[in-house]
A and B are shown apart, each in its own frame.
Chain A
Amino acid sequence: MHPTDFTLAGAVAALAEGAVSAEELTRAHVDAIEALNPRLNAFITTTPDQAIEAARASDAKRKRGEAGPLEGIPLAIKDLFCTEGVQTTAASRILGGFIPPYESTVTSNLKRDGAVFLGKANLDEFAMGSSNLTSAYGGVLNPWSRRNDTDARLVPGGSSGGSAAAVAARLALGATGTDTGGSIRQPAAFCGIAGIKPTYGRCSRFGIVAFASSLDQAGPFARTVEDCAILLRSMAGHDPKDSTSADRPVPDFAAACGRSVKGLRIGVPKEYRLDGTPPEIERLWRQGLDWLRDAGAEIVDISLPHTKYALPTYYIVAPAEASSNLARYDGVRFGLRVAEKNSDLRDLYERTREAGFGQEVRRRIMIGTYVLSAGYYDAYYLKAQKVRALIARDFTEAFGRVDAIVTPATPSAAFAEGENSDDPIKMYLNDVFTVTANLAGLPGLAVPAGLDPQGLPLGLQVIGRPFDEETVFSVGAAIERAAGFDAVPSMRAGA
């Protein structure tokens, strides 16, 4: 078996048995990156030498009997997590040359547990996008292709497109992502892998380049639900450096993957049946519910009446918070500076931010600036916060009757570059099924469950109660077992 074909759990076991060394495992992934990244563009920065060095240190640690739970596991890190001494770009020109003097808490936790970092994965600029095409470092190619149109360049989704593509193409055993409106779940679904956005507050946001602070949450990608559970356990936990990270025990999420779903009540929100949803997605959704019914769960129709207002709410709240967070990019303290010879300070700010931010980021900053400006704050921002409360209340009421909610992960399979690009709102609609969980702070898992007629992966989403990722994992793992999803992308290591 090629070392890049291991699941993460399989690699943990093989390392423990001595069937493979961390160095061999890392080298196989470094070679795979070297071979495929020129085409996929999944990584902005690769750190092969540091990875091999870390793998050797990991083998030595294991010999001393000090192996951590992720000892020697090679991972890709979304280039939104600050990594000490390694360039962090957020896929923006404005952070050009920025080398963080500190490490994000999530990546510190992964290192503490023995993980090896292969490099920094590509993303939409500042995590704003659903295609990875807003990256200043170019788009990422989805390793899957359409059966009848193999030339079409498909997007991996976004914003964590590089992370998802890297894991799907077997360039890493797992990856970190962040999810503000669907940025883990949509790319996971587009690339045929699993990904979870945990409950808001489960993971520390310290050291993650901020987009919309009340919505941003870190989470893992991997090729199985159990692998995501293993990674999340290491990533999660309270951090004094992020006051919104919850001080709650971190359960053994992987153990929950084996739990039966017998007797669980699974909610099916009628508002998620949208006009224009492709029939194969409707079919997959029904199939998923049948699988859960066969496994002993009870399927319950529910209503989340404010669902249709979630996207417009998000496109007030997220840009408002972004306009505030991105005010720090001023050409003074770090990153890019653009000035003319006779520029005053204000001209320096304006030229730096014009040149440093891409079009979508500038658009969102301006929307955010407008909805927060004097005279419009109540009409837009305050109104959106109230609708957000209603969206959250819908879920609270539903979770009085059900234990988890199952929906499609995305309204379509992966689309091609250029599609959905003529109108920003068309692109925003990609997050129609995922954005509600961010607004309400709930955990959401995407799990690959089938293929469309073109042979592209489709995912289902499981949403759970706050801090009940365990039920989410058990439902997701039950879908995964029933689906027996074993399709692989055409572009992958070892193929």
Chain B
Amino acid sequence: MSLDTATVRRVAALARIRLPEEEVARVQGELNGILGWIEQLQAVNTDGVEPMAGGTPEGIASMPMRDDVVTDGGMAPKVLANAPDREGEYFGVPKVVE
């Protein structure tokens, strides 16, 4: 599977990364290089194999459930402390709704 330039632009848009027109060809080449290399996985027979998300059986067996209760909160100043822009107790963003 090889990405055309329209797909490269669409992926950048989905990822919310601005992609200037003059960089599309370079990025297309890099992504296709990596995807071409990844393609070798299609040769592996995975019939009947359950997908693995991560962890180890031993680890999964010792993951305890915790009580479903609120354990923190009430720290708006801390939450907002690193915001690049804020309005009172809110994050500031460009106007979204006209």
Contact = CB atoms under 8 A, between A and B. Distances in A.
Contact of B91 (A243, A332, A339): A332
5 contacts: A97-B82, A200-B56, A247-B63, A316-B41, A441-B56
A95 to B, nearest CB: 9
Given A350-B17, A366-B27, A441-B55, A312 B33 contact: no
A386 B38 contact: no
Nearest to A331: B84
Contact of B35 (A243, A331, A365, A367): A367
A466 B57 contact: yes
Q: How large is the interface on B (under 10, 10 to 19, 20 to 34, 35 or more residues)?
A: 35 or more
B9 to A, nearest CB: 11
B53 A248 contact: no
Contacts of A347: 18
**Ranked 8 nearest A-B pairs via Cβ:** A214-B54, A385-B51, A334-B82, A201-B59, A386-B46, A337-B84, A389-B52, A354-B18
Nearest to B43: A309
Interface in A293-333: 306, 309, 312-313, 315-316, 323, 327, 330-333
A230 B83 CA distance: 38
A201 B63 contact: yes
B75 to A, nearest CB: 8
A7 interface: no
A466 B61 CA distance: 12
B17 A246 contact: no
Interface string B61-98: 01110100000000100110111110000010111100
A370 B31 contact: yes
Contacts of B91: 332-333
Contact of B82 (A99, A201, A423): A99
A70 to B, nearest CB: 25
Contacts of A316: 38, 41
Contact of A362 (B17, B58, B85): B17
Given A373-B11, A389-B52, A348 B41 contact: no
Contact of A365 (B8, B17, B57, B75): B17
A35 interface: no
A430 to B, nearest CB: 15
Contact of B41 (A344, A384, A392): A384
B3 A199 contact: no
A179 to B, nearest CB: 14
Nearest to A372: B14
B34 A367 contact: yes
Contacts of A366: 8, 11-12, 15, 17, 27, 31
A390 B51 CA distance: 9
A191 B44 CA distance: 36
B83 A332 contact: yes
Contact of A244 (B17, B44, B59): B59
A350 B62 CA distance: 41
B22 interface: no
A244 B63 contact: yes
Contacts of B49: 386, 389-390
Interface residues of A, number: 77
A309 B18 contact: no
Given A306-B44, A424-B33, A243 B81 contact: no
Contacts of B1: 376, 379
B94 A339 contact: yes
A276 interface: no
A109 interface: no
**Most chain-A CB neighbours within 10 Å: which of B12, B42, B57?**
B12
Given A367-B34, A386-B49, A424-B33, A309 B44 contact: yes
B32 to A, nearest CB: 11
Given A201-B56, A316-B38, A382 B51 contact: yes
A382 B58 CA distance: 23
B85 to A, nearest CB: 7
A244 B64 CA distance: 9
Interface in B1-35: 1, 3, 7-8, 11-19, 27, 30-31, 33-35
Interface in A236-254: 238, 240, 243-248
A336 B55 contact: no
B44 A348 contact: no
A240 B38 CA distance: 36
A385 B52 contact: yes
Contacts of B3: 370
A349 interface: yes
Nearest to B16: A349
B17 to A, nearest CB: 5
**Most chain-B CB neighbours within 10 Å: which of A367, A386, A388?**
A386
Contacts of B54: 200, 213-215, 244, 441
A344 B64 CA distance: 44
Given A344-B94, A370-B11, A387-B41, A214 B84 contact: no
